[in-house]
Structure 1
Amino acid sequence: MPHVTLYALEDDLAGREPGIIGGLTDAVVSVYGEWARASVDVRLIGIPAGRWARGGVPVTTAAPSVTFGLREEVFARPDAAEVTARLVAAFTDAVTAVFGDGYREDVLVELVGQPTTRSGLGGTLISEGGARR
């Protein structure tokens, strides 16, 4: 199950939830195919004013950032460089389509590989055949 988490200032995020949920889901589908749509898990984290800082000072504007959790095996595939570049571009496009192109240069996309030996679902390690959704 691909996990997408978007972090944005709460005031910037409010009211944009449907658009960004759809855009982030579509970004995953654009790389993996339609079969992935039903399993994309999107989490939106709105950060209240005063709780996002840079250089020790709270910011009043910040580009949203995206963290995408996927199985680490993706990084070992022969096409890993292409897949990761497509994911970064698709997530950046999804964010800027909703929040505006003025943020493009500052959108951070982090691709985080999860080893199946350190992930569990339904109380069982995924590598041991744990429940699948």
Structure 2
Amino acid sequence: MPHLTVRVLEPQLEGNEPALIAALTDAVVDVYGEWARDVAVIHLEGVPAGRWGLRGKPVDEAPPVIVFGIREAAFARPDSGEIIARLVRTVTDAAAGVLGAHLRDTVTVELVATPAGRTAIGGVIVDG
């Protein structure tokens, strides 16, 4: 299951939640295929104004930070370089498309690999 957690300043996020969820889900589907729509999970975390700092000072606008949980096996595929690049590109484009194209070059996407057997749903380890 692809899991994305997006941290963004609350004023930038406010009112954009449905569009951002839809755009990020579509980005995941664009890479993985339509099957991923039913299992993609998007968490939006709004950071209150005054609690995001850059260069030692609070800011009114900041690029989003996206943490993308991905299965470790994706990095072992022969086409992993292409898949990872597409994921990063489509997720970045989705966030910038909703929050502002001027942020595109500063969006951070962190891929966090989860080894097989390290995810559980409903108290049961999910294999694969």
| TM-score bucket of the superposed structures, by smaller chain | over 0.9
Residue by residue over 1:83-102, the C-alpha shift from the partner in whole angstroms, topping out at 9 and shown as x without a partner, is: 00000110111011111110
Gaps of 5+ in 1: none
Q: Which moved more, 1:5-14 or 1:115-124?
A: 115-124
Residue by residue over 1:41-76, the C-alpha shift from the partner in whole angstroms, topping out at 9 and shown as x without a partner, is: 111000001221234432222011211101110011
Q: Is the 8 A contact 1:20 1:94 kept in 2?
A: yes
Match of 1:75 in 2: 75
Gaps of 5+ in 2: none
Residue by residue over 1:75-128, the C-alpha shift from the partner in whole angstroms, topping out at 9 and shown as x without a partner, is: 11111100000001101110111111100110001111111232222212223x
1:25 aligns with 2:35: no
SS in 1 for 2:117: helix
Match of 1:106 in 2: 106
Deviation at 1:27, TM superposition (A): 0.4
Percent identity over paired residues: 52
Match of 1:35 in 2: 35
1:52 aligns with 2:28: no
Residue by residue over 1:13-42, the C-alpha shift from the partner in whole angstroms, topping out at 9 and shown as x without a partner, is: 000011100000000000011111111011
Q: What letter is aligned with 1:53?
A: G
SS in 2 for 1:22: helix
Q: What letter is aligned with 1:61?
A: E
Match of 2:120 in 1: 120
